[in-house]
Amino acid sequence: MNDCIFCKIVRGELPSFNVYENEKVLAFLDIHPVNPGHTLVIPKKHSPNIFEVLPEDWASVTETARMLAGVLEKTLSAKGVNLMMNNREHAGQLVEPTHVHIIPRFTDDT
């Protein structure tokens, strides 16, 4: 067991609004959304960042992000979608485990 906040979400020890999951990944709404539908995709197996995530886990994260980008754009009637990832503190990573942001974009949301 570790104290990682997202691992606690995976284990169901912290609340989350889950959007999708399979055996390798979990996707859930960001607690401080930039826009409605702002979703995080994480590998269920803990890794700190892009430099250490297992290739097969990364493949599942990116395929899930690709799939959810389309689902979120359509269901929220968004005008586009940003995919984003921060790696290491200097690059803006605030929460350690590997995660990809999916941010639906709307008219005049800048």
Which amino acids are annotated catalytic? 99
Cβ atoms 90, 16 nearer than 8 A:
no
Residue 24 DSSP code:
S
Any contact of residue 67 with ligand 5GP (CB under 6 A)?
no
How many angstroms separate the CA atoms of 23 and 72, rounded? 21
Residue 53 DSSP code:
S
Q: Which listed residue (21, 30, 63, 73) binds ligand 5GP by CB under 6 A? A: 30
Least distance between ligand 5GP and beta carbon 22 (Å) = 18
Q: Which stretch binds ligand 5GP (CB under 6 A): 23-31, 44-52, 56-64, 66-74?
A: 23-31
Cβ atoms 84, 100 nearer than 8 A:
yes
By CB under 6 A, name the binding residues for ligand 5GP.
5, 16, 28-32, 40, 86, 92-95
